[in-house]
């Protein structure tokens, strides 16, 4: 293929608006040419426009990725085949005949030719006034004045653009490539051409249209353009100004002119640079001022807001003062004329209430046309639906209190609890009331806004929580704010889940309704969104039973105005007559739906109504303290149990554990957990045998609450093993009388059994000291025979070796279970005298490595050690502690055996330790012993009882989580339950609990009869005998259980307390 | 839930008051499980009010009368 005379190079980039004009102007030149267009990956459709051209002279190419103007131009120039090369930027255009005129000059020996330029605007119109034109005219004037290219180019780039370049291939081969300057690569090319001796040509006709528009390269960064110009001049000046030839006056004049123009350009460039720098600095200052203005505006707004709030506060204070004055006036009036004032107050109240009631009634009297139906339960609802089946295509249900039941009322209790938990999280534990008020304020505001926007006063939970957090914790970082929002939302969902249970009969009804082909819709006035509500219902067992859910928070309209029903009907595309809506709220569910033409069914479940009533009253009274908080919590536990299939068992002992001992033990455990979290022991030792149930409860609590508690360790220890170990220091009087602390004590025999000593070894010595027999009862604990017996060295010589051996075994056993590895531990047991802790403190208290012991007991009577304070550590009875001198706590001590039986482990009592393969292991009482056999027979009953206790604990924990009540708040009611269990048992309770076998493991092998069978009607005629018998009974109040009236045990309690008080 | 369970777990307030009487008559006061006579009266009043003025039942009654 023959090479064209001229190659026109058009580098194209994002000039879709102008590129067609540029290409067309090149193709219109009447010379032999080729037009090479290389598109630099334009993104504005330039390439589509270019490919629309059909001309064999046109060569199109496109970069895969944007490479920049410099590289694109180079690539296009390298592809050119013409003898002469011309460049045209894609936003400029040639005048007709330009190339022919330039070629004529090139043919005359010029190496590079340019022409006059016409400035055009974006739409191609000629621009007649612009600084660019002035600058160009000045440069042209220099050329016309000097006809010296060095002088002209030192004054500035008169060619203005590469579009004005038409040059020969040899020149390009000599100078290629263009320099990497962003703005002055054309100027650089010209200066280098001059340095290399090229001949430049100029045509004084405007043969190029240079387009001025918003994205001209020069307008990108004028400062950089000027800096590049300065650098360029510095680079080429030596070569340009180097004098050649002889020094003549003409040459001197020419050089002076060149220097003058150079100086002018230099000064201009510097001035431009300074002006641009000043402009940039000005812009930065303006931007900073704009930022500051914003801050100032913010400050002014805050000040205005503060002033507004202060004014608001002053208004409130004034209002409050007005109320106080009004109240004082009423009080003063009441003092002057009490009866008249009271009458006036009552009359006022009645008048206000009457007005409100009348207004409500008038609103209500607008009865709907569609019928309102009342059903008492789901069975009646099913009959109703069956009768109307042919006319119905869908059933619509309210959600809360209709499909799901609440275990806590009113629902605002959940919000109160969330506010309390948020307060804890924010480190403002005592500020829950303020947080709650803020929440109500936010909700009120959002509801008012929704109403103002034309909807009902419905708002979305997400909006409430976000606005709430912004109000109570302003100025938090975005991540922290988001974490707080998620915390509040998660707590509310968790508590709602604990507070809601599915109604089994409702679920069965829905299964049936779907089975007969009815569509099931749920319609709820709720601030939770549709998705969390669906998740909640699915979690409660309604998955797959509900076809569609309509929630007021999403649709911004409520049921109570009927607009949510209208929305539901419109979206479902069914007529109102074919839908039946069921709900527990008469106004929102029955009346409002009936007014929309639906059949409104008022689900009036009597037991639900009564439950709501009871719980609302319980919540009202809970703030009074005393028994009320505990009673409210127990209401919640009973409601949860109502829906728990595991609680539906008939066996007495399970029921007794669940209903009687469960709440009492659970309250104790809450107190234990609170103390463990407060005192932070490193480990909690639960002492055999009665600590076993408490350990299981403690572990279950940790699992339910998902909190890390100190590890629980079970210790096989008994009063007998620690008492035996105490004998290493000998037997003194204080220790000896411990064995006599039992109404059925048998003197020395009881003492020997208490300390695990062999009675046979002491029989001879006892006789020597005047004892008729070793089992002679000792009513006088200061009996001189006992004192002499203890003082006998032979007795002590027999006692001490046994004590030393027992102490070594005890130490090794406790070392094995890690007791001495800690510096602070807790001990938990049923209690009574805290004997184990006391002996442990006495034996090891002074030894190095013995930890500080905090003893937490269910009940502490301290009868045996009333005068002996603990030498180290702390000791506390949670439900009963005689140190507190609170008589109303005493019930557990009046029937200790009940609580011991309820808490005891299934294994036998630990009677000692032995070494097996170097390890110390506990030794248990023989299963063949008569009392142990009786215990083994009772173990299944105890197992059932403890299953009940653990189930109660699970629900107790949920209720405690819902209410946040602590041990001190719950204890009074637990005391009432304890009093009821001990003093006012039912006849069945007395009969069934009498079946339990209770063994005494401290000094006695007796099997206690817990029943009151030993007392009959005949004993009533022998008061003295009756009194003795009753004194020996472990559970004296069981006698009155047969009488079916609380007055008899109340009277007995009165006399018992009186007697105890006199003691 | 059986009424028996409710009776054992949620003790009637008057019964708690009765259980407290032996302590009160012996002058054994202090923190304990007494609901207090005023609170007992308040409780009975609150329960009566909630029972008598059940808003939904009243409204239903009026509407039914209107629809008859």
* pLDDT tens-digit series, residues A373-392: 899 999 999 999 999 999 99
For A910, counting Cβ atoms within 10 Å of its Cβ (0-12 exposed, 13-18 middle, 19+ buried), the class is buried
Which residue among B16, B23, B62 sits closest to A364, beta carbon to beta carbon? B62
Our measurement of the distance from residue A681's CA atom to the centroid of its chain's CA atoms, rounded to an integer in Å, reads: 28
Q: Is B22 on the interface with A (CB under 8 A)?
A: yes
Q: Which of A608, A659, A988, A1040 to mutate to test the interface with B (most CBs of B within 10 A)?
A: A659
Q: Give the tens place of pLDDT for each residue, A814-873.
A: 999 999 999 999 999 998 888 888 888 888 876 777 899 999 999 998 766 655 677 788
Percent pLDDT > 90 in chain A is: 51
Residue A433 has pLDDT above 80, yes or no: yes
The domain A6-128+159-214 belongs to what CATH superfamily? Spore Coat Polysaccharide Biosynthesis Protein SpsA; Chain A (3.90.550.10)
Give the per-residue pLDDT at A889. Answer: 92
Contacts of A604 in chain B (CB under 8 A): 56-57, 60
Distances (CA, A) of A45 to A8, A12, A19: 22, 11, 10
Question: b/e string for A461-480 if b means 16 or more Cβ within 10 A?
Answer: bebbbbbbbbebbeeeeeee
Give the per-residue pLDDT at A246. Answer: 62
Contact B11 A659 (CB under 8 A): no
Distances (CA, A) of A880 to A263, A892, A895, B15: 106, 7, 13, 22
Q: Binning pLDDT at 50, 70 and 90, where does residue A365 land? A: low
Residue A1 has pLDDT above 80, yes or no: no
Contact A364 B59 (CB under 8 A): yes
Q: Is B6 on the interface with A (CB under 8 A)?
A: yes
Q: Is A634 on the interface with B (CB under 8 A)?
A: yes
Domain ranges of chain A: 6-128+159-214, 370-403+503-622, 412-499, 1017-1063
Q: How many domains does chain B have?
A: 1
Percent pLDDT > 70 in chain A is: 96
**Tokens in use for A511?**
């299964």
Residue A1004 has pLDDT above 70, yes or no: no
Max CA pair span of chain A: 160
Residue A172 contacts residue A198 (beta carbons within 8 Å): no
Nearest to residue A387, comparing CAs of A516, A503, A507? A516
Contact A631 B57 (CB under 8 A): no
Contact B28 A1057 (CB under 8 A): yes
Alpha carbons A571 and A530: distance in angstroms, whole number: 15
Contacts of A638 in chain B (CB under 8 A): 1, 5-6, 9-10
Residue A340 has pLDDT above 90, yes or no: no
Q: What is the mean pLDDT of residues A560-568?
A: 93
Alpha carbons A582 and A610: distance in angstroms, whole number: 19
Q: Give the tens place of pLDDT for each residue, A880-929.
A: 998 888 889 999 999 988 999 999 999 998 988 999 988 899 999 888 88
Q: What is the mean pLDDT of residues A947-964?
A: 96
Q: Give the tens place of pLDDT for each residue, A60-78.
A: 999 988 888 888 888 899 8
Contacts of A1059 in chain B (CB under 8 A): none
User: Of A740 and A464, which is predicted with more confidence?
Assistant: A464
Contact A586 B42 (CB under 8 A): no
Our CA-based measurement puts residue B67 at a distance from the nearest CA of chain A, in whole angstroms, of 7
Q: Give the tens place of pLDDT for each residue, A769-819.
A: 888 888 888 888 888 898 899 888 898 888 888 889 999 999 999 999 999
Give the per-residue pLDDT at A241. Answer: 76
Contact B9 A975 (CB under 8 A): no
Contacts of A368 in chain B (CB under 8 A): 63
Nearest chain A residue to B14 by CA: give it: A1046
Give the per-residue pLDDT at A866. Answer: 58
**Tokens in use for A941?**
């009953």
Contact A638 B5 (CB under 8 A): yes
Q: Is A155 on the interface with B (CB under 8 A)?
A: no
ipTM of model over 0.95? no
Beta pairing class for A683-687 and A824-832:
parallel
A370-403+503-622 to CATH, choices 3.10.20.740, 3.30.1490.20, 3.40.50.1000, 3.90.245.10: 3.40.50.1000
Q: Give the tens place of pLDDT for each residue, A319-330.
A: 999 999 999 988
Residue A653 contacts residue A948 (beta carbons within 8 Å): yes
Domain that holds residue B59: 3-67
Which residue among B16, B56, B67 sits closest to A371, beta carbon to beta carbon? B67
Alpha carbons A805 and A814: distance in angstroms, whole number: 15
Residue A638 contacts residue A501 (beta carbons within 8 Å): no
Contact A1061 B26 (CB under 8 A): yes
Give the per-residue pLDDT at A367. Answer: 65
User: Of A131 and A952, which is predicted with more confidence?
Assistant: A952
Q: What is the CA radius of gyration of chain A?
A: 50
Q: Binning pLDDT at 50, 70 and 90, where does residue A757 land? A: confident
Nearest to residue A404, comparing CAs of A498, A500, A534, A495? A500
Q: Give the tens place of pLDDT for each residue, A295-335.
A: 999 999 999 999 999 999 999 999 999 999 999 988 888 88
Residue A628 has pLDDT above 90, yes or no: yes
């Amino acid at each position: 293929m023959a090479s064209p005379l001229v190659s026109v190079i058009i580098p194209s980039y994002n000039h879709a608006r102008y590129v067609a004009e540029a290409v067309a102007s090149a193709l219109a030149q009447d010379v032999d040419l080729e037009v090479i267009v290389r598109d630099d990956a334009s993104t504005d459709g330039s390439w589509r426009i270019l490919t629309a051209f059909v001309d064999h002279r046109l060569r199109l190419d496109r970069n895969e990725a944007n490479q920049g103007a410099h590289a694109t131009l180079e690539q296009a120039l390298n592809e050119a085949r013409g003898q002469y090369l011309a460049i045209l930027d894609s936003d400029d255009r040639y005048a007709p005949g330009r190339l022919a005129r330039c070629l004529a000059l090139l043919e005359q020996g010029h190496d590079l030719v340019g022409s006059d330029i016409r400035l055009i605007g974006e739409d191609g119109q000629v621009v007649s006034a612009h600084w660019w034109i002035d600058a160009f005219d000045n440069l042209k004037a220099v050329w016309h004045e000097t006809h010296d290219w060095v002088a002209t180019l030192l004054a500035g780039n008169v060619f203005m653009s590469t579009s004005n370049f038409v040059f020969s291939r040899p020149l390009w081969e000599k100078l290629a490539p263009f320099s990497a300057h962003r703005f002055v690569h054309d100027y650089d090319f010209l200066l280098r051409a001059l340095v290399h001796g090229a001949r430049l040509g100029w045509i004084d006709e405007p043969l190029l249209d240079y387009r001025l528009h918003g994205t001209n390269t020069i307008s990108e960064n004028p400062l950089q353009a000027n800096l590049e110009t300065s650098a360029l001049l510095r680079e080429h000046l030596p070569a340009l100004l180097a004098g050649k030839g002889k020094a003549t006056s003409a040459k001197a004049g020419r050089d002076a002119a060149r220097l003058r123009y150079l100086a002018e350009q230099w000064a201009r460039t510097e001035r431009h640079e300074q002006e641009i720098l000043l402009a940039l600095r000005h812009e930065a200052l303006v931007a900073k001022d704009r930022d500051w203005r914003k801050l100032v505006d913010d400050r002014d707004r805050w000040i205005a807001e503060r002033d507004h709030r202060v004014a608001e506060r002053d208004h409130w204070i004034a209002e409050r003062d007005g109320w106080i004055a009004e109240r004082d006036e009423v009080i003063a009036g009441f003092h002057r004329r009490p009866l008249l004032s009271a009458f006036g107050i009552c009359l006022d109240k009645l008048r206000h209430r009457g007005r409100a009631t009348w207004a409500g009634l008038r609103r209500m009297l607008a009865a709907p046309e569609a019928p309102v139906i009342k059903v008492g339960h789901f069975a009646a609802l099913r009959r109703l639906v069956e009768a109307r089946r042919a006319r119905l295509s869908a059933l619509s249900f309210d959600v809360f209190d209709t499909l799901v039941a609440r275990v806590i009322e009113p629902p605002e209790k959940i919000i109160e609890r969330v506010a309390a938990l948020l307060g804890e999280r924010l480190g403002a534990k005592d500020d829950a009331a303020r947080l709650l008020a803020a929440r109500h304020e936010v909700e009120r505001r959002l509801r008012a806004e929704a109403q103002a926007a034309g909807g009902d006063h419905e708002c979305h939970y997400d909006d409430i929580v976000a606005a709430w957090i912004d109000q109570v914790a302003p100025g938090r970082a975005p991540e922290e704010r988001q974490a707080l929002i998620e915390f509040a939302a998660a707590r509310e969902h968790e508590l709602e889940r604990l507070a809601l249970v599915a109604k089994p009969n409702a679920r069965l009804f829905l299964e049936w309704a779907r089975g007969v082909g009815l569509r099931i819709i749920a319609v709820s006035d709720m601030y939770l969104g549709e998705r969390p509500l669906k998740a909640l219902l699915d979690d409660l067992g309604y998955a797959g039973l509900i076809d569609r859910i309509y929630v007021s928070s999403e649709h911004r309209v409520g049921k109570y105005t009927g607009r949510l029903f209208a929305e539901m009907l419109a979206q479902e595309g069914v007529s109102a007559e074919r839908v039946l809506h069921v709900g527990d709220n008469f106004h929102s569910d029955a009346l409002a739906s009936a007014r929309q033409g639906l059949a409104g069914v008022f689900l009036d479940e009597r037991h639900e109504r009564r439950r709501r009533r009871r719980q609302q009253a319980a919540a009202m009274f809970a703030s009074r303290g005393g028994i009320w908080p505990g009673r409210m919590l127990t209401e919640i536990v009973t409601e949860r149990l109502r829906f728990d299939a595991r609680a539906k068992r008939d066996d007495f002992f399970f029921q007794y554990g669940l209903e009687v001992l469960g709440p009492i033990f659970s309250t104790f455990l809450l107190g234990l957990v609170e103390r463990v979290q407060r005192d932070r022991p490193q480990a909690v030792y639960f002492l055999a045998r009665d600590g076993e149930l408490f350990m299981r409860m403690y572990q279950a609590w940790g699992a339910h609450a998902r909190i890390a508690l100190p590890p629980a360790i079970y210790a096989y220890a008994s009063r007998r093993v620690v008492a035996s170990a105490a004998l290493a220091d000998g037997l003194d009087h204080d220790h000896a009388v411990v064995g006599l602390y039992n109404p059925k004590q048998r003197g020395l025999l009881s003492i020997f059994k208490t300390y695990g000593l062999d009675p046979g070894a002491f029989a001879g010595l006892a006789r020597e000291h005047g004892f008729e027999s070793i089992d002679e009862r000792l009513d006088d604990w200061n009996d001189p025979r006992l004192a002499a017996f203890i003082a006998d060295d032979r007795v002590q010589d027999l006692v001490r070796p046994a004590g030393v051996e027992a102490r070594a075994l005890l130490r090794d056993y406790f070392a094995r279970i890690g007791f001495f590895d800690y510096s602070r531990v807790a001990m938990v047991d049923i209690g009574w005298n805290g004997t184990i802790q006391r002996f442990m403190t006495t034996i090891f208290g002074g030894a190095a490595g013995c930890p500080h012991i905090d003893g937490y007991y269910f009940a502490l009577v301290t009868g045996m050690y009333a005068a002996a304070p603990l030498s180290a550590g702390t000791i506390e009875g949670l439900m009963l502690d005689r140190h507190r001198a609170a008589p109303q706590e005493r019930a557990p001590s009046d029937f200790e055996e009940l609580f011991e039986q309820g808490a005891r482990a299934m294994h036998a009592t630990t009677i000692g330790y032995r070494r097996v393969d170097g390890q110390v292991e506990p030794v248990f009482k023989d299963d063949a012993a008569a009392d142990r056999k009786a215990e083994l027979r009772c173990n299944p009953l105890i197992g059932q009882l403890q299953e009940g206790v653990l189930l109660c604990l699970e629900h107790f924990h949920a209720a405690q989580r819902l209410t946040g009540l602590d041990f001190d708040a719950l204890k009074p009611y637990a005391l009432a339950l304890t009093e009821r269990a001990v003093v006012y048992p039912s006849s069945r309770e007395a009969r069934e609990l009498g079946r339990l076998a209770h063994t005494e493991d401290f000094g006695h092998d007796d099997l206690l009869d817990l029943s009151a069978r030993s007392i009959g009607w005949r004993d009533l005629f022998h008061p003295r005998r009756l009194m003795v018998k009753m004194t020996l009974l472990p559970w004296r109040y069981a006698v009155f259980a047969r009488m079916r009236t609380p007055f008899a045990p109340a009277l007995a309690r009165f006399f018992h307390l009186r007697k105890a008080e006199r003691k | 839930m059986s009424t028996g369970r409710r009776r054992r777990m949620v003790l009637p307030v008057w019964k708690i008051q009765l259980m407290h009487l032996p302590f009160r008559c012996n002058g054994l006061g202090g923190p304990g499980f007494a609901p207090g006579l005023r609170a007992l009266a308040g409780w009975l009043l609150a329960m009566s009010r909630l029972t008598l003025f059940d808003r939904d039942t009243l409204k239903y009654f009026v509407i039914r009368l209107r629809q008859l």
